[in-house]
Chains A and B, each alone.
Chain A
Amino acid sequence: MTRLLVAGSLLVAAPLGPTLEQSPIRFEEIAAAAGVRTTHQTRTFDGPYADTLRMFTTGGASAAVADFDNDGLDDLFVTSSERGSRNRLFHNDGGLKFTDVTDRAGVGGGNDAKSIVADALWFDYDNDGWCDLLVVRFGTPILYRNQGNGRFIDVSAASGLTTFANSIAAIALDYDNDGRLDLLLGHYFAPINLIDLPTTKVLPHDLDSASNGGGVALWRNAGGGRFVDVTRAAGLGEHTGWTLDVGHGDFNNDGLQDVYLANDYGTDRLFMNQGGGRFRDVTATAIGFDTKKGMNVEVADYDNDGWLDIYTTNIHDEYMKECAMLWHNNGDGTFTDLSRETGTCDTLWGWGAKFADFDNDGWLDLFVTNGLRSAGPDNYIPVLVKMITAPGVDFSDLRNWPAIGNMTWSGYQRKKLHRNLGDHTFREMAAEAGVDNDLDGRGVAIADFDNDGRLDLYQTSANQPALLYRGLAPRPGNWVQLALTGRSPRDAVGARVTLTAAGRTQIREVDGGNGYAGQSTERVHVGIGDATRVDSLTIRWPDGQVEQFDVQVNRLTRIRQGEAARAR
């Protein structure tokens, strides 16, 4: 009788919550089967402050997507950070199978005695049609030129990218519209080599408004494989925050790429491109001064109003209620943080976050990684707070920070997947979708690795294995995918796509690596729901030319600037 009652209650209970099968967004984790389950290794340090330094350098787990061999399938580059550990280049063989081609390509290095790999970026710096690779380091970056035959050569020395910095983020953008992709690097620490410390005062002097970080560096692509540091000339030299991520987009629809800087321990910064190679800091009037721990810059028009919005993660945990920031672009030079109103505030200790339409319903969803350090049962926070509340303590001094040992700090956090409901709100559904892992996530890269029209998701984690989630939305809407080739820059970074289907207009911009520790595909993916045709497709190319194209739904279309659209 009891058994019957229990069985009956299960039958009644089942319809109350959506099951995995019913969820509109669903993923299957296949990293091992696909051959991309590589494990990131955090850098270990020597000396009395090894523990604290390791704690402050737990980034470096990044992933960058590009079709490096132009075979029509997006490939994957994944970094590691421990001395001697190797980055991995995975060639997409099709059918969600990858082959490690690192050795043949010659791109595994970077973690040497003086340098720590922190991020990676694909971009075609020489406009030859082959994606080149930048390996970002606490050290000097490595620029690999793609030779078009599966091999790369190190051209760093000749490139001029030889200035030491603790770089942690990089994007490629054509800030001066000269047709060549420039580089914006975000620097975390000031330019002090952490492996060979000249001083113990290397940490932020203030945990809410620090100004002793590394700032940013803007490298102008001068052509001929040379880059020139134009940070000061461009108006970015005054920024000395702890930059954790950099992002770009045309926020005021004037055809110029603007820049948002996410800063740890203090105010994020928004710089509007004035033209003529100059930026203007509009933080005060556009977003105001925050005291949060900015971790990520993701740019997209989440509410389909024709203006690019910005999402940045912060720390929102039991002991610190900062909220992520969803900067809604008001279209008048100001932004309003709507994270609470939209339901995207609580990401715990957030890291990389990406907008993508996982169910192709015409509204961009949002996946957010989180989690700092999952270790033993003891919690570091009470220990840390004891230090923080001690009178007159100098936060910048390594000697004052208590060792973390095997303690956990904001660890074992479940990832967040916010489904866009199309009414300015999101619903969190990571568990339903099967992506609520509790690893110490860092980067996110989105791509359609199997070209099935459902976006897949690759997540890196610090000192832990990476995950590949294959998109399996059960009833996805129709979609359009575009692979754009610009006249210059070739990979069309900055191109603005405006697509209308069934009365709904969406915009996309090709970005040059937005998002912390994760570069998504350069392809443009647009879900169009039940619409069976595209009413109009307009592309504003980086050089300002505007063209209209006809495209088919549910297929990848390759578009070359100045030519008619060709469906695959």
Chain B
Amino acid sequence: MKRTRLVLTLIATTLAFQQLLAADGPALAELENHLANDPENLQLANAYRRSIIESGEYDRALRFFARLVETHTVAANAYLSYGFAHVDKIPTVGAVTQVVLAGAALSAFTRAVELRPSWIAYYTRGSSYLFWPKIFGRAPLGVADLEEALRIQQREPKRPYHVRTFLALGDGYWKVEQYDRARATWEQGLKQFPESEALRARITADAGRLAVMLDAAFDPTRRVDTDLSPLWNEP
């Protein structure tokens, strides 16, 4: 009964998005109105952020989410979305402002973890730590978060997106120079997700190729894919 209600809610929400997005361009104001009443809704927030990326109105999103978390101080997902809004803006700004935005995103992700220590919160913050250059010593923090995300997912039914934890955690081990654990994690992931080309590429790459691959994966100047739709689109 509970599951049926959830599915119906999801369908209704999806239809609502389609109506909102079918208009001429993204109906940002309408999405903001919906989110103001439903701050925990990651799907709405995701659609809103997708539209923001298209329109380039990053500061609008930052202002909106700042207000949202101010008025909904215990809405963990609102903080997650606020963090993602910072990440979305990063490729559009200069190197120093990127650091400022990355720092602000981390603060928002941390608040989300504090409010609700979920898989998505740990996975997000853990991955975020891995983008920081080695000099800041944040990779071990990322590894700790991703280990926690792995523990959480191991208690849950298997989901396609869980493959990301194996990828990121292996990358984290590689960044803290625990190369054997990195390989073991990727291999463990590949056993569970044999279709993952990303895991296979890491396992088969030599050290030089792997370094290039991971440098590219964590290049702060490239846009990070913050699209959360696989969370609900993948069965």
Where the two chains meet, the residues of A that have a C-beta atom closer than 8 Å to any C-beta of B are 206-209, 266, 290-292, 315, 318-322, 379, 381-382, 385, 388-389, 391
Partner of B136, one of A207, A322, A382: A382
Determine if A291 and B136 form an interchain contact, defined as CB atoms under 8 angstroms apart: no
| Contact yes or no, A207 B96, CB < 8 A | yes
Chain A residues with CB below 8 A from B104, complex form:
389, 391
- Known contacts A292-B94, A292-B95: A379-B135 contact under CB 8 Å: yes
Measured between C-beta atoms, what is the minimum distance from A110 to chain B in Å?
Answer: 33
B117 within 8 A of A: no
Does B220 interact with chain A (Cβ within 8 Å)? yes
Q: Kindly provide the distance from the CB of B173 to the nearest chain A CB, expressed in whole angstroms.
A: 20
| Across-interface contacts of B134 in A (CB, < 8 A) | 318
- Check A318/B133 contact, CB under 8 A, given A385-B99, A388-B99, A388-B100: yes
The CA-CA distance from A319 to B221 in the complex, in Å, is: 12
| Cβ contacts A to B, 12 pairs, < 8 Å | A207-B94, A208-B94, A292-B95, A318-B133, A319-B99, A319-B136, A381-B136, A385-B136, A388-B96, A388-B100, A389-B102, A389-B103
Of A207, A290, A319, A388, the residue contacting B133 (CB under 8 A) is A319
Q: Which residues of A contact B136 (CB under 8 A)?
A: 319, 381-382, 385
Measured CA separation A448–B104 after assembly (Å): 53
Chain B interface residue count, CB cutoff 8 Å, equals 18
Query: Which residue in chain B gives the minimum CB-CB distance to A321?
Result: B221
The CA-CA distance from A315 to B97 in the complex, in Å, is 14
Q: Which residue of A lies closest to B102 (CB)?
A: A389
Known: A321-B221, A382-B135. A315 touches B99 (CB 8 A): no
> When the two chains form their complex, are residues B99 and A291 in contact, meaning their CB atoms are under 8 A apart?
no
**A208 CA to B92 CA, complexed, in Å:** 12
Residue from B93, B94, B100 in contact with A389 in the complex, judged by beta carbons closer than 8 Å? B100
The distance in angstroms between the C-alpha atoms of A322 and B219, with both chains bound, is 12
Asked whether B93 lies within 8 Å of A208 as measured between CB atoms, the reply is yes
Find the B residue at minimum CB distance from A314: B95
Asked if B96 and A319 make an inter-chain contact with CB atoms under 8 angstroms apart, the answer reads no
Give Cα A424 to B104, complex, Å: 41
In the bound assembly, the distance between CA atoms of A540 and B93 in angstroms comes to 43
Contacting pair A320 B95 (CB below 8 A):
yes
Q: Which 6 residue pairs of A and B lie closest in terms of their CB atoms, listed nearest first?
A: A208-B94, A291-B94, A389-B103, A207-B96, A320-B95, A319-B133
The residue on A at minimum CB distance from B134 is: A318
User: Chain B residue with minimal CB distance to A381?
Assistant: B135
Q: How far does the Cβ of B69 sit from chain A's closest Cβ, in whole Å? A: 13
10 additional A-B residue pairs with CB within 8 Å, beyond A318-B134, A391-B104: A207-B96, A208-B94, A291-B93, A292-B94, A319-B99, A321-B95, A379-B135, A382-B135, A385-B103, A389-B99
**In residues 128-184 of chain B, which contact A (Cβ within 8 Å)?**
133-137
Which of B97, B137, B219 is the one whose CB lies under 8 Å from A207?
A: B97
B217 to chain A, nearest CB (A): 14
Min Cβ gap B169→A in Å is: 23
Compute how far the CA of A381 lies from the CA of B100 in the bound complex, rounded to whole angstroms: 13
Query: How far apart are the CA atoms of A320 and B94 in the complex, in Å?
Result: 10
B103→A208 contact, CB < 8 A: no
Contact of A291 among B97, B100, B102, B220 (CB under 8 A): B97
B111 to chain A, nearest CB (A): 13
* A residues less than 8 Å from B99 (CB atoms): 319, 385, 388-389
Total A-B residue contacts, Cβ distance less than 8 Å: 52
The minimal Cβ–Cβ distance linking B215 to chain A, given in whole angstroms, is: 10
Please report the C-alpha to C-alpha distance between residue A9 and residue B95 in the assembled complex, in whole angstroms: 46
Complex-state Cα separation, A389 to B86, whole angstroms: 13
**A381 contact set on B, CB distance < 8 A:** 135-136
Min C-beta distance of B199 to chain A, whole Å: 27
Within 8 A of A (CB), among B204-223: 219-221
Instruction: Collect the chain A residues with CB atoms within 8 Å of residue B221's CB.
Output: 321
- Min CB distance B138 to A, Å, is 10
- Chain B residues whose CB sits within 8 angstroms of the CB of A319 once the complex forms: 99, 133, 135-136
In whole Å, how far is B128's beta carbon from the nearest beta carbon of chain A? 13
A290 to B95, CA, bound (A): 10
| Contact digits for B75-109, partner A, Cβ 8 Å, 1 yes 0 no | 00000000000000000011111011011100000
Point out the residues of chain B lying under 8 angstroms from A388, CB to CB.
Answer: 96, 99-100, 103
For A318, list chain B residues within 8 Å (CB).
Answer: 133-135
Q: Which residue of A lies closest to B221 (CB)?
A: A321
From B93, B96, B102, B137, give the contact of A320 (CB < 8 A). B96
Q: Nearest B residue to A320 by beta-carbon distance?
A: B95
Among B95, B102, B133, B135, point to the contact of A315 (Cβ < 8 A): B95
Chain B residue at smallest Cβ distance from A379: B135
Taken together as a complex, chains A and B put the C-alpha atoms of A322 and B96 apart, in Å, by 10
**Min C-beta distance of B125 to chain A, whole Å:** 15
**How many angstroms between the C-alpha atoms of A209 and B97 in the bound complex?**
10
What are the residues of chain B within 8 A of A315 when measuring CB–CB? 95
Inter-chain contacts of B93 with A (CB < 8 A): 208, 291
B49 → chain A closest CB, angstroms: 22
Bound-state Cα–Cα, A315 to B94, Å: 12
Say how far A315's CB is from chain B's closest CB, in angstroms: 7
Query: How far is B133's CA from A381's CA once the two chains are assembled, in angstroms?
Result: 11
For A386, give the chain B residue with the smallest CB separation.
Answer: B103
Interface residues of B in 41-61 (CB under 8 A from A): none
Instruction: Name the residue of chain B whose CB is nearest to the CB of A393.
Output: B100
Distance A70 CA – B41 CA, assembled complex (angstroms) = 78
Contact with A along B192-235 (1 / 0, CB 8 A): 00000000000000000000000000011100000000000000
Please pick, from B97, B100, B102, B220, the residue contacting A321 in the complex, using a CB distance under 8 A: B220
Give the residue name and chain of the B residue nearest to A267 (CB): B94
User: CA separation between A517 and B221, bound complex, in Å?
Assistant: 30
**Contact at B135–A321, with CB atoms within 8 Å?**
no
Contact of B97 among A208, A290, A385 (CB under 8 A): A208
From A266, A318, A385, name the one whose CB has the most chain B CB atoms within 10 angstroms: A385
Flag if B135 contacts A291 (CB, 8 Å): no
Could you say which residues of chain A place their CB within 8 Å of the CB of B103?
Answer: 385, 388-389
Q: A168 to chain B: closest CB distance in Å?
A: 20
Residues on A with C-beta less than 8 A from B97 are 206-208, 291
State whether B135 touches A322 (Cβ < 8 A). Answer: no
Most buried by A among B96, B136, B137: B96
CB distance from B225 to the nearest CB of A (A): 19
User: Chain B residues with Cβ under 8 A from A382's Cβ?
Assistant: 135-137
CB distance from A204 to the nearest CB of B (A): 10
Q: Are B100 and A322 in contact (CB under 8 A)?
A: no
* Chain A residues whose C-beta falls within 8 Å of the C-beta of B133 in the assembled complex: 318-319
A209 to B219, CA, bound (A): 22
Q: Which residue of A lies closest to B95 (CB)?
A: A320
A105: shortest Cβ distance to chain B, in Å? 43
| Interchain CB contact under 8 A, A321 and B94 | no
Residue of B nearest to A323 (CB): B221
Residues of B within 8 A of A389 (CB): 99-100, 102-104
| CB-based nearest A residue for B92 | A291
Within 8 Å CB of B102, what residues of A? Answer: 389
Closest to B219 in A: A321
Q: CA of A290 to CA of B100 in the docked complex: distance in angstroms?
A: 18
Chain B residue, CB-CB nearest to A382: B136
Bound-complex Cα distance A451 to B196 (A) = 64
